[in-house]
Amino acid sequence: MLAVLAPGQGAQKPGFLTPWLDIAGVDARLRWWSTLSGVDLRYLGTDADAEEIKDTAKTQPLLVAAALLTAEQLRMDDVAVVAGHSVGELAAAALSGALTTDAAVTLAGVRGREMAAACAATPTGMTAVLGGVPEQVLARLAELGLDAANVNGAGQIVAAGPVPALAALEADPPQRARVKRLPVAGAFHTRFMAPAEEALCSHAADLVPSDPRQPLLSNADGAVVTDGAEFLRRLIAQVSRPVRWDECMNGLAAAGVTAVLELPPAGTLVGLVKRNMKGTATLALNTPEDLDAAVELIHEHSGAD
């Protein structure tokens, strides 16, 4: 059984969409989605530098568009399970048919702009805590008034909150843990994103989601959501609630997933799967040269028990 995963913010790399422009229709697709999202996706995916694609308002629609345009080169009907990390959930929703691709890219543009605005209101950020004893890590975060915004498995918890508290965490981390400040604009998936959640709720009032065609996992708890309206509610609430990617991987294992394909810009989620789901076949799809291997993986694992 095959799962397709869509990565979240932080996975982007300068120029990662450049080789995909040689495929017929990709350039036109990016130009149309640029109109819908309000940002120049073609430029951002090809010529923009690392600093520019760190901008939340630009990165989020870029990542959703990248996942969707590359998935269009594959037979997604043969995919058994879909999931996405953070903003990648929007791409996953479209891959499953819960949202149209146009609606997902448009919503990603709104999400990015509103989360960027929320970041500007208070100086906040995110720091990855790698290793350590989970209970001790969570206790240290609570002591500093920080939130566990992402619980990613493989001994990785992402702390989020005010910049001074993150500095204190980095100066005195939990025992046997390493810390690394992340290149993001603010405390995503925490109470600081409440204004963005309100704005998304207003925008999504006009959307009419469909029930997913394939099992669609939720970042909230790793559960399979079969109702499109319920998944949309979860998507909106997700911006101010933790990402439980550890539970998503538990959900993949419980579903009997034997192989994982990560859409561009790929690598992060495949790495987590390798450490948490031993023996699972994985493929990071990053360029058109990887498509043959992706098609072979889909064929080998479609319908597998």
Is 125 found in the same domain as 110? no
User: Is the model's pTM score more than 0.85?
Assistant: yes
What domain range is 138 assigned to?
A: 121-181
Residue 157 or residue 80, greater confidence? 157
Q: What is the mean pLDDT of residues 60-78?
A: 93
Rounded CA gap, 272 and 22, in Å?
Answer: 31
Q: In terms of domains, do 41 and 135 share one?
A: no
Is the domain of 19 the same as that of 152?
A: no
CA distance 40 to 15: 13
As a whole number, the mean pLDDT across the chain is 94
Q: Where are the alpha helices (DSSP H) in 15-55?
A: 26-37, 41-46
> Angle, to 10 degrees, between the axis of helix 194-204 and the axis of helix 101-121?
150
| Total domain count, the chain | 2
Residue 32's contacts (CB-CB under 8 Å, 6 or more residues apart) are none
pLDDT band at 88 (very low <50, low <70, confident <90, very high): very high
Average of per-residue pLDDT across 132-161: 95
Query: What's the average model confidence in pLDDT over 101-105?
Result: 97
Give percent of the chain with pLDDT exceeding 70: 99
- The residue assigned the tokens 């704005």 is 199
The last residue of one of the domains, among 160, 181, 202, is: 181
DSSP at 219: T
Residue spans of beta strands (DSSP E) within the chain: 2-6, 81-84, 124-131, 147-153, 156-162, 177-181, 216-217, 224-225, 259-262, 281-284
pLDDT above 80 for 78 = no
What pLDDT shows up at residue 252?
Answer: 96
Q: pLDDT tens-digit profile of 104-145?
A: 999 999 999 999 999 998 899 999 999 999 999 999 999 999
Residue 100 above 80 pLDDT?
Answer: yes
Beta bridge partners of 147: 160
- Give the single-character DSSP code of 158: E
16 & 134 share domain: no
Assess whether 19 and 156 both reside in one domain.
no
Confidence of residue 305 (pLDDT cuts 50, 70, 90): very low
Show which residues are catalytic. Answer: 86, 189
Among 181, 216, 250, residue at a domain's last position:
181
Do 10 and 112 have their domain in common?
yes
pLDDT reading at 251 higher than 80:
yes
Last residue of a domain, one of 181, 207, 226: 181
Sign, CA torsion 97/59/57/87: positive
Question: In the Cβ-directed half-sphere of 105, how many Cα atoms lie within 13 Å?
Answer: 22
Which CATH number belongs to the domain containing residue 260 in this structure?
A: 3.40.366.10
Q: Classify strands 81-84 and 2-6 as parallel, antiparallel or unpaired.
A: parallel
**pLDDT tens digits along 172-205:** 999 999 999 998 889 999 999 999 999 999 999 9
What's at 42, amino acid-wise? R
